[in-house]
Amino acid sequence: MVADYVLSLSAPHAVAVELIGYNDAGTEILRRPLTRGDDSTFSLALSSAYTGLRYRLRHTDRNGCVTEFTDPHATAVTANGTHGVLLPRRRWNGQRPSAPKPGTEIIYEIHIRDLTIAPSAGIESTGTFAGLSQPGRRTAKGNPSGLDYLRSLGVTHVQLMPVFDFATVDETGDLSFNAQYNWGYDPDHHNAVEGSYATDPTDPSTRIEEFAACIDALHSAGLRVIMDVVYNHVYDAGTHAFFPLGYFRTDGGELYDATGCGNEVATEQPAVREFIVDSVAYWAQAFGIDGFRFDLMGTHDVETMQAIRRRLDEIDPEILLLGEGWEMGNHLEAVTPADLLHADEIPRIRMFNDQARDAIRGDNFDAEVPGFVAGHGGTECSLELFCALTSTRYPFLKPEQSVLYVEAHDNLTMHDKLCAVAGLDPASTKAADDEELLRRHLLAMTLPYLGVGTVFVHAGMEHRRTKHGDENSYRSPDRINAFDYDRGWDPRHARVRELFIALNRWRRQPGWPQPSSYAEVDERYQLLHAEPGRLSFLIDGGEQREIYVAINARDRDWEIGPLAEDKRWVHRLHDHEIDHTTVEGQVVVPAISASVLES
């Protein structure tokens, strides 16, 4: 028999594992035992005659306890993941867009439903992969939406919030506007595509093909694609395959819960490590995924992350890896956590820099506590900002390891944060019309572009996106989360979008310094001045060029005085615009802005 399908399951606690086949009515029609190997791995080979078979696995442990579950390795599932389905594995053979030089990447985080569900977006097949695959879409007001909008921004990577099969949206229920919503950080099947983003969730192949078409469309638009993956926990430990397989961290039989989601996956176990490595390799090979963002990566171990990096290097060494390196997880004493404190052990994996985030925006969890851009804080805050922009706090080995950001999908948007500090309703006309709030938002958006590292932007920061003060909209309705394309052309916000596009173009120009090591950062970046709400530093741009950066978060102009008179200075960024005017005599940094001058 030619083995078209090979099922394999590492089940150290099992005495028997069986495949149970079902018809569409849910009646058992087939039973096949999996053969146990020497290493507690059970396997079964099947021919193409079984294509389309709906199946589950039945696990019997040493105590005679029988558990039935969907195959955790399944790459095709029925609606709501009740059964695995035998379908041929895809093999991607497309063309990736060229990878940008390390440190010039600009990552733009999106949610499939957010960008495609709004009735005003002018998108067919709303809320789906297919909706994001369509070129030529326009809003009712004639502004670009969907794929064309993404293409217009000048970013290098689009990061997709979870698109694997998650548990918290009923795929057979009402999927219309405001009916159901979830970010998707509730893993059910790590290797299967989410069905609520398909035009037909009941057809196991539709979600696969439409997701593939979406990735191809993004590639054709010149965008590399990062997939947000969640291997640190599962939605329901009690019903998931990982429970009888013993894949969780436990204490005396009780599940550990450093994730805050009820369980914690034991990534240090060899079988779990192999599962995760194989999983990311599958997404890269089947769909051409160009990068992976690891949720709560601090719960993972360094050895697993190193293994992932090695495996992906065999596929394409330019596949980008990044993650949340927060210090968390119930790690064994001999296990090294994959967190910020151990960034030097995984130098080709980037990590979100919370120091930069908090220095710029203020306390991420207390809405009313401001940061540098709100004009608050003493000299220490300005010095903290310089350290954050040069990424000197954490043991990064490469500058691009530091992911510089001020806003992501969770917590308040930057606009809503500034409104909270100012005591304003973020959805009010008063907030939208406030010139000072606008300038502070522009400054916050600009600062990561002036730093050393990888720039990360949450979708909508370029038009002062509001979620009406909702700091955790993971299951809030579409009226809170849906993307408002027309907001970027509203005269009150258009300046932000225009600057965003200009910054993306500017950041990628060859003239902007991209140090390749921290020795180079130390040599080329010189702190000049720090006081409350103000900071300046000098960059050795090479080839006898100097770049002067001055940041003014105060509400009055900063008169610095003339720079070195033996050089000709030209503005590169001034008063929230890309500028190329020659500077003579006094240098003035307008209130609540940043100026960049080059000799």
User: Across 149-263, where does the E strand assignment appear?
Assistant: 157-160, 164-166, 187-193, 224-229, 250-251, 254-255
Return d(Cα 389, Cα 208) in angstroms, integer. Answer: 40
Please indicate whether residue 484 is annotated as part of the active site: no
Tokens of 383: 């010095």
Catalytic residue among 186, 295, 354, 478: 295
Please indicate whether residue 264 is annotated as part of the active site: no
Return d(Cα 466, Cα 486) in angstroms, integer. Answer: 13
Q: How far is CA 136 from CA 129, 388, 416, in A?
A: 15, 40, 31
Return d(Cα 345, Cα 306) in angstroms, integer. Answer: 8
Packing angle of the helix pair 204-220, 270-287 (nearest 10 deg): 60
| Residue whose structure tokens are 């009055």 | 556
Q: Cα(first)–Cα(last) distance of the chain, in Å?
A: 72
Return d(Cα 284, Cα 291) in angstroms, integer. Answer: 8
Tokens of 48: 């193409």
Asked whether the CA dihedral 589, 595, 596, 598 is positive or negative, the reply is negative
* 474 phi, psi to nearest 5 deg: -60, -25
Q: Are strands 454-458 and 525-531 parallel, antiparallel or unpaired?
A: unpaired
User: Across 508-579, where does the E strand assignment appear?
Assistant: 525-531, 534-542, 545-552, 558-559, 569-574, 577-578
Burial state string for 260-287 with b = 16 or more CB within 10 A and e = fewer than 16: ebebbbbbbbebbbebbbebbbbbbbbb
Q: How far is CA 67 from CA 19, 70, 402, in A?
A: 12, 10, 44
Catalytic residue among 71, 188, 290, 324: 324
Other Cβ atoms closer than 10 A to 383:
16
Asked whether the CA dihedral 442, 444, 449, 451 is positive or negative, the reply is positive
Catalytic residues: 295, 324
